[in-house]
Amino acid sequence: MKLAIIIGATRDGRQTLKQAKWVLNEANAMEGVEAELVDLKDYPLPFFNEPISPRYNPNRVIEPAVKKWLDSVAEADAYVFVTPEYNHSIPGVLKNALDFVTGEFNRKPATVVSHGSVGGARATMHLKEILSESRAIVIPQQVAFLGLHEGVNDEGQLDAELLANPYGPAAALKTALSELKWFSDALTQARNA
């Protein structure tokens, strides 16, 4: 499974990068998984302003910056969106990036790993709806992380106490990644058939 871990925040001092590194470390420890970070900071996209929905525009002209983003996500078999919660939702930069997507996520599994107030649960709810509209297969398992600032270091290593908790974020992430891999394997086989 080629896994894109999409970092959904770009501001300086973001905690999301630590959380994404944690997901990357765990994913790359799994057999049959090749994971990479896809940082929206590396894709400075214009504000979405196309005259027709990309899905319904046969004459769409894609700007080079947008093409770079779309090509990057199209290469993946599965996705983990790592996002903070901003004002009870996802960051605008993530929503903007998703507005450019057409068929890149089609019939590919995705999940959300969030942080913030109530673990970023409201951002997760909104993002799952958006991803469904992009035709991704949103799996039920996700990770809502409360207390990320103290719980994960800059290298993406989880605090020992949280790591030892059988019902904590480490167990939730392991379950979500295992399910994502199962769905990715099944859907890749179906898409190739």
Parse the chain into domains and list their residue ranges.
2-192
CA distances from 133 to 99, 137, 138, 183 (A): 10, 10, 10, 18
CA 97, 153, 184, 71 torsion: positive or negative? positive
CA–CA separation, 28 and 36 (whole Å): 9
Model pLDDT, residue 75: 97
Chain Cα centroid distance, residue 184: 14
Structure tokens that stand for 160 in this block: 């020992």
Where residue 13 falls (left for φ over 0; alpha for ψ -120 to 50; beta otherwise) is: left
Q: How far apart are CA 92 and CA 186, in angstroms?
A: 32
Residue 158 to residue 172: CA distance in whole angstroms: 13
Six-digit token pair at 135?
Answer: 């035709």
pLDDT given at position 122: 97
CATH 3.40.50.360 fits 2-192, yes or no: yes
pLDDT at position 150, please? 84
Under 8 Å between Cβ of 73 and 79: yes
Alpha-carbon distances of 125 from 7, 60, 191, rounded to whole Å: 17, 30, 27
pTM of structure = 0.96
| pLDDT of amino acid 147 | 83
Query: How confident is the model at residue 117, as a pLDDT?
Result: 86
Give dist(CA 193, CA 190) in Å, integer: 5
pLDDT in tens, the chain (193 residues): 999 999 999 999 999 999 999 999 999 999 999 999 999 999 999 999 999 999 899 999 999 999 999 999 999 999 999 999 999 999 999 999 999 999 999 999 999 999 998 999 999 999 999 999 999 999 999 999 988 878 899 999 998 888 888 998 999 999 999 999 999 999 999 999 9
